[in-house]
Chain A
Amino acid sequence: MTTAALQQYLDFAYIAAVVLFILSLKWLSSPVSARRGVLAGEIGAALAVTATLFNPELVQYKWIVIALIIGAGVGIPLGMVKMTAVPQRTALSHAFGAASAAMIGIAEYYVHTEHLTRFEMGEIALEVIIGSLTFTGSLIAAGKLQEILPQRPIVYRGQNIVSLSILGAALALAIVLVINPVQHLLFPVMVVVALIFGVMLVTPIGGADMPTVISLLNSYAGFSAALLGFVLNSKVLVVSGALDGSSGFILSVIMCKAMNRSFTNVMFGAFGQVQASAEKGKEERVVRSASAEEAASILEAATRVVVVPGYGMAVAQAQHKVRELYDSLTKRGVDVRFAIHPVAGRMPGHMNVLLAEADVPYDHLMEMDDINGDFPQVDVALVIGANDVTNPAAKTDKSSPIYGMPVLDVERSHTVMVIKRSMNPGFAGIDNPLYYMPNTLMLFGDAKAFVSNIVKELGGGHG
């Protein structure tokens, strides 16, 4: 076969891969067809990789084979992590993706330095800067999620000015390189500056903002791959990068809306600092608490129960006990549903995956907008490890830092029960007036232990 004919077959394989990728995302829209979507993606990827191995430009296979084996060896264990660890795995994979895009850009620079046009140099520089900052930024995010690094935002005076100057320096170096690409020593300096900027970008962001940050990094990783497609003139990369980039972008917008915040506010606002102003209203506010026995009898008498899970449920590993509670109540004819706030958990959709893993049927998992109107007809709203997403101050108190954030209207149900370790304020340090409402009962204790006590009082999950 001639090289030109072979090249044509390779192009057809790439086109087929792109079509399969688009179908893959289309089928992902519903849980019924979603697994078919994964299969389509797998076939597309296998096709593209196999075709590439026939590329006539390849002269040596040794390193390719070794690298593919190592990649599979790392990828399989990373695909087997526990569902609670999925956010950090995802952040780590953004780091890997961005790193490979950056490394390919760097290699392209060194191969073609002598005959790069200014335009090509600009593309490479931009691609390598985005890839590098996404790499270190994602590593920091993964470290925070894995709790190797402190989850609280790390801030200092003048931080934004320092960070933006570093980004400015990276861009300035890029411009110098565009003017004269043949500066072998300047290029690595630009890479290092971009890597530092990635660290500065994510370090000040707190754990509660991780859903937005992960989505943004997803979008950067996608766009760096698309830019790499421009550099290499590879349409398959342009398409996949655009799909991934737009997906990350849409998720970021959804997450920002769910917190009533702008991108700039997430990136530069250092949310989650302890609010000094919330000290007012310290007069005697009555908190009513209840035991597991009382909670069980209230739940037993209810017709409609809505469980509101938050990140605290995942931290306490309580999702399997919550499923037992669900089973036990359902068996007694109680209608149990789950209200999922878009930013519950540490990444978009995290809570749904955790509950699905615990075998809660997904048709009982309700989105915020679909369930909010039902709360007045709900007998018991059981809040487990969620705080800010149930805070009625977001609707009424203009001085509250979360004012305007869409929240679950749990306080409108007949009885609210909140499982909480103590009266300490939540992650963002914001006081929650829900706990002092006359229809609220506080259930103090560890989420897993408390839910399991309720299940015991109800007479065992599996009777």
Chain B
Amino acid sequence: MPPDFISNLYVFILAGFVGFELIKKVSPLLHTPLMSLTNALDAIVVVAAIIIAGRHETPLTTALGAVAVAASFSNMVGGFFITDRMLRMFKTGRPKK
């Protein structure tokens, strides 16, 4: 097995545990914003897509990369935007009269 795989596996397992512990603590009240936020964070694949689109190897890979940039960046922008919109609505006590 390649050494890179082993070090990535370490990172994956540790991050999985961190995620498990953090997400367990999120109140069910916020499960919808949780899903849209993790979605926006997951859109970090845009960094890989940017490299594919900008390395300019073949027209096919450039096209795949560009579409991937558009798809993941829309998740990033839209995900953060809607999460914040939702969270702004959560108010305690009596709101404005």
Contact = CB atoms under 8 A, between A and B. Distances in A.
Given A52-B50, A96-B71, A241-B42, A348 B37 contact: no
Contact of B51 (A41, A58, A123): A58
B42 A356 contact: no
A251 B37 CA distance: 14
Interface string B51-73: 11111111011101111111111
A60 B56 contact: yes
Contacts of B77: 71-72, 75-76, 79
Interface string A6-49: 00000000100100011011101111001101100110110011
Interface residues of A, number: 116
Given A28-B26, A101-B45, A244-B41, A239 B52 contact: no
Interface residues of B, number: 85
A79 B38 contact: no
A17 B50 CA distance: 17
B59 to A, nearest CB: 10
A101 B79 CA distance: 17
B60 A76 contact: no
Contacts of B91: 356, 359, 361-362
A363 B93 contact: yes
Contact of B55 (A25, A59, A80, A214): A59
Given A45-B80, A57-B54, A74 B70 contact: yes
Contacts of A377: none
Q: Interface majority SS on A: helix, strand, loop or mixed?
A: helix
B78 A41 contact: no
Interface in A152-172: none
Interface in A114-138: 117, 119-120, 123
Contacts of A111: 57-58, 61
A63 B54 contact: yes
Contact of B35 (A14, A71, A79, A251): A251
Interface of A: 14, 17, 21-22, 24-26, 28-31, 34-35, 37-38, 41-42, 44-45, 48-49, 51-53, 55, 57-61, 63-64, 66-68, 70-81, 83, 86, 89-90, 93-94, 96-97, 99-101, 103-104, 106-108, 110-111, 117, 119-120, 123, 214-215, 218, 221-222, 225-226, 228-230, 232-248, 250-251, 254, 330, 340, 342, 347-350, 352-353, 356-357, 359, 361-363, 365, 367
Interface of B: 1-2, 4-5, 8-9, 11-12, 15-16, 18-20, 22-58, 60-62, 64-95
Given A28-B26, A93-B75, A362-B91, 17 more contacts: A21-B41, A25-B41, A28-B37, A71-B76, A86-B86, A90-B39, A100-B72, A123-B5, A222-B42, A225-B45, A236-B47, A242-B15, A244-B39, A347-B31, A359-B91, A361-B94, A363-B93
